[in-house]
Structure 1
Amino acid sequence: MIRVLVADDQDLFRGGFTMILAAQPDIEVVGEAADGAAAVEAAERLRPDVVLMDVRMPVLDGVAATARVCARTDARVIVLTMFDLDEYVYAALRAGASGFLLKDIRRDDLVGAVRLVAGGEALLAPTVTRRLIGELLRRGHAVPRLAARLGELTERETATLRQVARGLSNAEIAAELFVTEHTVKTHVSNVLAKLGLRDRAQAVVFAYESGLVVAGE
């Protein structure tokens, strides 16, 4: 059973997401929160698998709340936004979010997203990955201490990380590198373990911040 916490200051959205998710046989909505501080408290108390987190909330904004939830629990956070270029989304990914959803998402896509993230995947479509992370770091520079950590990876793991940062799926990476999907999964797991990253979303951010991938490439 996937345990979900829904955090949104708008009753309509919070109630709607809760109703949709609670109707699924493999999902249990364990709690709701109407502000960021309440979301952090509920996440620590209820220990959900997934938190749906609105990025714009009172008391404590969704970005700060995401950082605290990711630091204090094992929950994976999906940030919710009205606009796919919301600058708050960029910060939320850096704070540890595993992806984001637009609030006008279809019912089936919402359910699928929760299941996907609960399974350890990142919720970043290829086109979104390139635009979102590229814009986040377009004006930035490589962080030396992160660049140095690339030396911990093998050549194949580095190549895999580069493809992950491009937003490619495991199947697409396998085709690019002429290896099996199983091999790609192994490389991705090794990259996450060696670099201490939560999931693919964090791997994408690391690839850009370390200078492995340059925005606009």
Structure 2
Amino acid sequence: MSTPDVVVTVYDDDPLSRAGVIALLERRRDTVVLLDPDADGDRRNGNVGLVVIDLLDEFALARLRKLVIDTDRRLVLVTGELDEAQVQLVIDAGVQSVIWRHQVTAERLAKAVETASRGEGHIPGDLLVKVLAQLRRIRRDGAEKSAETGGPTRRELAVLELIADGLDTKEIAEQLSYSERTVKGVLHELTTRLRLRNRAHAVAFAVREGYI
């Protein structure tokens, strides 16, 4: 008999809900073995924690963080809903993957815990769209703040990011569809305005100030 690939512990305060989740996971005994949440736990393959929470509040977030710290488990969260801010909070708390409760199936649960056991993650497509929109807003707001405070402009940041990646003037020009003269002009304007000595100083400044 082969050893299961994933060791998972289910955390759910609702006994009926927990029984349903366990029943679904037990269909995949070939890859998943269940542990009692009160047991010390078997550390094989990262030992995944599957947490079912209907409403994400401060108490629930504290519980997620405590599980990560106390058990060192990689967490999969089954929940009803999350907004963009909440998904960032659960990721910061240590959650690897998120599954919508209304989309739970034996296959999705097994895939999520197997993915988490490898140190990888997954979030639903509709939630991913919200997260990407949030990241775009953060980037846009950062660029606007940069312009307001006299920091690098969007075009200057684009050039600095490529310099940080090791590209030379010709490569930057090709990447951004600029002429080499334009790239040099952008850098000259930036270093002169912010009183920076050279490209390396400009990149160091941008990193230190959190622009890139």
TM range (shorter): 0.5 to 0.7
Task: Report SS of the residue matched to 1:9.
Answer: coil
Q: TM-score, normalised by structure 1?
A: 0.51
Question: Partner of 2:112 in structure 1?
Answer: 113
Task: Report SS of the residue matched to 1:122.
Answer: coil
Task: Report SS of the residue matched to 1:5.
Answer: strand
> Is the 8 Å Cα contact of residues 84 and 102 (structure 1) preserved in structure 2?
no
Deviation at 1:79, TM superposition (A): 1.3
> Is the 8 Å Cα contact of residues 47 and 75 (structure 1) preserved in structure 2?
no
- 1:158-217 CA distances to partner (integer Å, 9 max, x unpaired)? xxxxxxxxxxxxxxxxxxxxxxxxxxxxxxxxxxxxxxxxxxxxxxxxxxxx665xxxxx
Deviation at 1:26, TM superposition (A): 1.6
Aligned partner (choices 4, 15, 18) of residue 22 of structure 2: 18
CA distance in 2, matches of 1:134, 1:55: 25
- 1:113-151 CA distances to partner (integer Å, 9 max, x unpaired)? 111111221113555334136548957987xxxxxxxx9
Q: Residue 127 and residue 82 in structure 1: after superposition, are their counterparts in 2 closer, same or farther (change >3 A)? A: closer
Question: Partner of 1:70 in structure 2?
Answer: 68
Percent identity reads: 19
Task: Report SS of the residue matched to 1:115.
Answer: helix
Question: Partner of 1:178 in structure 2?
Answer: none
Question: Partner of 2:36 in structure 1?
Answer: 31
Higher Rg = 2
CA distance in 2, matches of 1:76, 1:54: 14
* Residue correspondence of structure 1 range 53-92 to structure 2 within 5 A: 53-56=51-54, 61-85=59-83, 88-92=86-90
Deviation at 1:101, TM superposition (A): 0.9
Deviation at 1:30, TM superposition (A): 0.2
Task: Report SS of the residue matched to 1:46.
Answer: coil
Task: Give the number of the structure with larger relative contact order, counting CA–CA contacts within 8 Å between residues 6 or more apart.
Answer: 1
Aligned partner (choices 37, 41, 47) of residue 46 of structure 1: 41
Question: Partner of 2:147 in structure 1?
Answer: none
Deviation at 1:88, TM superposition (A): 4.3
Aligned partner (choices 149, 153, 165) of residue 155 of structure 1: 165
CA distance in 2, matches of 1:14, 1:138: 38
> Is the 8 Å Cα contact of residues 74 and 117 (structure 2) preserved in structure 1?
yes
CA distance in 1, matches of 2:84, 2:74: 20
Matched residue type, 2:63: A
Question: Partner of 1:93 in structure 2?
Answer: 91
Structure 1 unaligned residues grouped into runs of 5+: 33-41, 143-150, 157-209, 213-217
Deviation at 1:12, TM superposition (A): 2.5
Deviation at 1:86, TM superposition (A): 8.0
- 1:40-64 CA distances to partner (integer Å, 9 max, x unpaired)? xx47x2256111113358xx83311
Question: Partner of 1:9 in structure 2?
Answer: 13
Q: Residue 11 and residue 139 in structure 1: after superposition, are their counterparts in 2 closer, same or farther (change >3 A)? A: farther
Question: Partner of 2:172 in structure 1?
Answer: none
Deviation at 1:5, TM superposition (A): 0.9
Matched residue type, 1:4: V
Matched residue type, 2:21: F
Question: Partner of 1:203 in structure 2?
Answer: none
